[in-house]
């Protein structure tokens, strides 16, 4: 008899199910790197301008603070003031990285967790043997045969993502490999999400809010003007996002 079942005196079968499941989940978060030793009025003015020009990029997105270039913010009081300003702008800051001077109790009091860089892995099952770190997961390409609507998020964690249709403003595409859009790309497209710098983005018409490869991104106001509304190939070269008009 299976351990998942027990038979009572009347012969009926009762299913015993777990109260919860533990699963790994890939999370796309924005990283706000502070490149000044303090957050002054000029800093917030520039931030407000960015929020005005690309509001959908930040809307509802979890955010991590990177303080590698801002040692002056690695103390409780200045960091608390920074968080108050950011959260008053509806920025959902949940973590911080490169802030080794702050201990766990201080971070917890500020509603933050320490975030380390690197690729997340699925939580292993106790009964399953752990796979070798040298063996990559099998490719699982995803094809979407419909337009992607605003608010939708489509992800291919272990392969390429192809959309046969347009991608609306406010939609998001995320892929471990390449992204292909056979239509107009108006939303966000993030290829090479696990750090693959050889990933590419192809779209029939470029009108995106954001494009990114391996974490390097450009927003709508910085896209190459020559590529706008054209069939475009996007790739990385010398740590720079390049855009090549195909036709």
Q: pLDDT of 105-130, one tens digit each?
A: 889 999 999 887 544 333 344 444 44
pLDDT of residue 124: 40
Q: Is the confidence at residue 185, as pLDDT, over 50?
A: yes
Q: How confident is the model at residue 22 (pLDDT cuts 50, 70, 90)?
A: low
- Alpha carbon distance 176, 160 (integer Å): 7
pLDDT of residue 194: 86
Enter the pTM of the model: 0.55
Exposure class string for 91-109: b at 16+ Cβ within 10 A, else e: bebebbbbbeebeeeebee
Q: Is the confidence at residue 96, as pLDDT, over 80?
A: yes
Q: Are strands 161-163 and 113-114 parallel, antiparallel or unpaired?
A: unpaired
Q: Is the confidence at residue 229, as pLDDT, over 90?
A: yes
DSSP string, 57-103: HHTT-EEEEE-TT-GGG-SHHHHHHHHHHHHHTT-EEEEEES-TTS-
Q: Are strands 5-7 and 13-15 parallel, antiparallel or unpaired?
A: antiparallel
The answer for residues whose C-beta is within 8 angstroms of residue 101's C-beta and 6 or more apart is 71, 74, 75
- Alpha carbon distance 30, 33 (integer Å): 10
- Alpha carbon distance 62, 69 (integer Å): 21
Q: Is the confidence at residue 183, as pLDDT, over 60?
A: yes
The 10s digit of each residue's pLDDT in 37-70 is: 888 899 999 899 888 877 766 777 788 898 988 8
Task: Name the strand (E) or helix (H) holding 42.
Answer: helix 41-53
Cα three-residue angle 22-24-27, rounded to 5 degrees:
130
Q: How confident is the model at residue 1 (pLDDT cuts 50, 70, 90)?
A: very low
Q: Is the confidence at residue 2, as pLDDT, over 50?
A: no
Q: How confident is the model at residue 11 (pLDDT cuts 50, 70, 90)?
A: very low
């Amino acid at each position: 008899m299976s351990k998942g079942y027990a038979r009572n005196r009347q012969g009926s079968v009762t299913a015993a199910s777990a109260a919860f499941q533990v699963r790994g989940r890939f999370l796309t978060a924005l990283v706000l790197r502070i490149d000044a030793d303090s957050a002054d009025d000029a800093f917030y003015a520039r931030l407000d301008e960015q929020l005005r020009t690309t509001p959908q990029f930040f809307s509802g997105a979890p955010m991590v603070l990177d303080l590698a270039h801002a040692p002056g913010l690695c103390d409780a009081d200045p960091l608390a003031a920074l968080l108050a300003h950011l959260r008053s702008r509806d920025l959902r800051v949940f973590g911080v990285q490169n802030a080794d001077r702050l201990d766990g109790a201080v971070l917890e009091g500020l509603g933050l967790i320490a975030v380390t860089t690197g690729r997340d892995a699925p939580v292993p099952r106790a009964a399953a043997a752990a796979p070798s770190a040298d063996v990559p997961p099998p490719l699982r390409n995803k094809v979407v045969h419909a337009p992607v609507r605003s608010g939708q998020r489509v992800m291919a964690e272990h392969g390429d993502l192809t959309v046969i249709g347009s991608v609306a403003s406010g939609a998001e595409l995320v892929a471990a490999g390449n992204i292909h859009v056979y239509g107009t790309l108006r939303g966000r497209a993030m290829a090479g999400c696990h750090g693959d710098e050889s990933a590419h983005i192809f779209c029939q018409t470029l009108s995106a809010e954001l494009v990114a490869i391996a974490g390097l991104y450009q927003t709508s106001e910085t896209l190459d003007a020559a590529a706008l509304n054209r069939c475009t190939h996007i790739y990385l070269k010398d740590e720079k996002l390049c855009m090549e008009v195909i036709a």
